[in-house]
Structure 1
Amino acid sequence: MRVTYFFRKPYQDYFSIENVFKIVQQALPKEIVVNNYHLKFYSTGVITRLKSCFEVLRHQGDINHITGDIHYVSYFLPKKRTVLTIHDLAPLENSTGLKHAILKFFWYQLPIKSVAYVTVISNYTKKALLDIIDVNPDKIKVIHNPFAAQLTFQPKKEMPEVPVLLQIGTAYNKNLEGLIQAIGDLTVELVIIGKLSIEQITLLESASLNYSNAHDLEYDEVVAYYEKADLVCFASFYEGFGLPILEAQAIGRPVITSNRCAMPEVAGDSAILIDPLDIQAYRNAIKSVLSNSEERKALVDKGIINTQRFTASQIAEQYVELYKSLDNHV
């Protein structure tokens, strides 16, 4: 069986979708022949998107899998042989009025009607879709994201004099600004992965924080930053999944994350959950983890158990079952 995976044109600093399916593909059985195709054009403008729709027609497999962020290429692909992965509803979260209606129809309603199955990466995303679109729930399959097998368990025994806090992401939803407020005058080093805006740099400088920043990294470099960290802070406002939770836990780092969206689903009881708007709660959680070795050990132990729900082999098996169900009905 040949499966063609259709990807967006690559962006710098935005490679989570590509990483997820790279992990999945490495765990697929040999009977699945993988073909990866990346669009030649960025997702901007009607004409460019139409060109992409015609572009994918020349690169079809026995099964076509649209990996996300380019839902519109489903329009011209054969419905019975096409799967679409929807990662979140972020575009709708940030739009209103006519723009909201257009995005809802062309980015969600029409693509969902154009494919055999939709996979979503969390039960939260499935519920959010069903709340706004009239579709048979059986058409929406929840298949979580896996974490990379290269992430090895390397717990730290002691907390250093100046602990390292790692923040993954600088986009609006990542709540970097909240973390900056929360750590205030704490004696910590803040490491931020992702390109900073001028406003964020100004805020960091005005807070007189000990921080460093890195972006445009290879995945191995990101892993090295997880290994250096003592605590991973991921208290986002919005996430369709929250892969950094699992990445941190697989390496053996305690995690503070949000009690919103899919993050409680991913973390379970293995991380500290806070309201991302409650700066004092965020600060208290950070101080507690840094000062309490028993709490850190409990979080690390629960974290490594939690990751076993999201191994690449388990996730790949779920995709294989879905592909076979399509292949048997073509």
Structure 2
Amino acid sequence: MSKTHSRPIVVFFQRRPRKFGNFSVEFIFDAVRRNLPSDLEGVYHPAKHESIGLWKRLYIMWEAAQSQGDVNHVTGDVHFLTLLLQKRKTVLTVLDVGFMKHPSKWARAFLKFFWITLPVKKAQLITTISQATKQELLKYTSFPAERVKVVYVPISDDFKPIPKPFNKEKPVILQLGVAFNKNIERLIEAIKDIPCHLEIVGKLPEPLLEKLQAYNISHQISWNLSNEEVRQKYAECDILSLISTYEGFGMPIVEANAVGRAVITANILSMPEVAGNAAHLVDPFNIESMKSGFLKIIDDDEYREQLIANGFINRRRFSINKITKEYIKIYKEILNL
């Protein structure tokens, strides 16, 4: 591809865009591509098919092989695309290795082989979106640690401070996502005796909906929201809850920091790394710890305001310009090999 261009080309190989949810991959690398310097050309190459089934995966691997640039960046989720790419030109981004928590040992073995073992053999450099994810990844591969770079997720400039008086009488708690790792069942138990309103983004399974109703917890559930509608949920909430049992990063922490909302999150994996001193940390497996955390934020005005102030500082670590510069450094390293 690069032979007809004067500038080196970075090809961003991305999964097929999804209609709803999981937009983080698309945003991260669209932002990086748009902010590349004039001496690099970014090319967006979405997969023609979703990563489902053998034949569709083989097709998108072949298609990627025909579209290589001076740097090939496989941007997460479709790791197997590296298999037909030139190794010395290839960067692989690993967003998380949560699939290694699969309950079936056979599924774990399959996923490890095709999403870790083989893909990393064909990558010159790997990036992860947190130090915690890097450490997890290195448990499953002998890939040299010095060739695994940690580059955080950038936050959209659309997230801006929106002042709002804190509602101590009945705070609005925002929960984004309802997957198993989001720990909704324990969240419900933790807040059942706290006067509050729970705002959930995601289609809640019926058993959890029944539990909300049994405890008479004020709530609203919405899904398939636009980016603008999600930002409005941040603006309307008092507390952002991300007390997950697993996260590769934890973008809602930073988004809530940017808007100016108090954050409560888990004290494990990437979440403390992302939150810094801008969130209250709790044990996601301990309901009493979670409950105490909510009460601390609600009752202690000075502490809550300090968390919010720290959040405005914390979000600076995740600016688009800063993150883009880190990727540019990686691309230049590949080009100079």
Normalising by structure 2, report the TM-score: 0.93
1:51 aligns with 2:63: no
Give the structure 1 partner of residue 196 of structure 2. Answer: 188
For residues 158 and 128 of structure 1, do their structure 2 counterparts lie closer, same or farther at Cα, with a shift above 3 Å needed? closer
Q: Indicate how the Cα distance of structure 1 residues 31 and 167 shifts in structure 2: closer, same or farther if over 3 A, else same.
A: same
CA distance in 1 between counterparts of 2:69 and 2:215 reads 53
1:208 matched to 2:216 = yes
Separation in 2 of the partners of 1:161 and 1:26?
A: 44
Equivalent position SS for 2:152 = coil
Q: Are residues 32 and 197 of structure 1, via their aligned partners in 2, closer, same or farther at CA, if it must alter by over 3 Å? A: farther
Instruction: Return the offset for 1:232.
Output: 0.3
State the shift of 1:237 in Å: 0.1
Root mean square deviation of aligned Cα:
1.5
Residue 69 of structure 1 corresponds to which residue in structure 2?
A: 77
1: CA distance between counterparts of 2:30 and 2:308? 26
Match of 2:318 among 300, 306, 310: 310
Distance 1:277 1:19 in 2: 31
Match of 1:127 among 135, 148, 151: 135
> Structure 1 counterpart of 2:113, which letter?
F
Q: Offset of 1:160 from its aligned partner? A: 5.5
Deviation at 1:279, TM superposition (A): 0.7
CA deviation after TM superposition for structure 1 residue 267, in Å = 0.9
Deviates more, 1:117-126 or 1:196-205: 196-205
Alpha-carbon separation, structure 1, partners of 2:202 and 2:298: 24
User: Aligned partners of 1:129, 1:71: CA distance in 2, in Å?
Assistant: 13
The AA in structure 2 aligned to 1:276 is: P
2:154 to 135, 141, 146: 146
The equivalent residue for 1:84 is: 92
Match of 2:138, SS state, is: helix
Whole-angstrom CA distance in 2 between matches of 1:220 and 1:73: 32
Match of 2:247 in 1: 239
TM-fit CA distance, 1:290: 1.4
Conservation of the 8 A alpha-carbon contact between 2:116 and 2:140: no
Task: Write the distance in 1 (CA, Å) between the matches of 2:215 and 2:63.
Answer: 49
User: Structure 2: where are the runs of 5+ without partners?
Assistant: 1-7
8 Å contact 1:23–1:147 — kept in the other structure? no
Opposite residue 249 of structure 1, the aligned amino acid is N
Q: TM-score, normalised by structure 1?
A: 0.95
Matched, 1:10 2:17: yes
Unaligned 5+ segments in structure 1 are: none
Assess, with a 3 A threshold, how the Cα gap between structure 1 residues 158 and 201 changes in structure 2: closer, same or farther: closer
Conserved in 1, the CA contact under 8 Å of 2:178 and 2:184? yes
The alignment status of 1:118 with 2:126, answered yes or no, reads yes
Question: What SS does the corresponding residue of 1:132 show, helix, strand or coil?
Answer: coil
Deviation at 1:96, TM superposition (A): 4.0
Structure 1 window deviating more from structure 2 (39-48 vs 174-183): it is 39-48
| Aligned length in residues | 329
Alignment of 1:212-227 (within 5 A): 212-227=220-235
Match of 1:284 among 281, 292, 295: 292
Distance 1:25 1:218, change over 3 A: farther
1:253-264 equivalences under 5 Å are 253-264=261-272
Query: 1:216, 1:99 → 2: CA distance?
Result: 29
Q: Give yes or no for the alignment of 1:295 onto 2:322.
A: no
Equivalent residue number for residue 324 of structure 1: 332
Contact 1:226 1:248 in 2 (8 A): yes
SS of the residue aligned with 1:269? coil
Looking at structure 1, the residues matched to 33 and 256 of structure 2 have their Cα atoms a distance apart, in angstroms, of 22
Helix, strand or coil for the counterpart of 2:295? helix
CA contact (8 A) 1:13 1:194 kept: no
Amino acid of the structure 2 residue aligned with 1:213: I
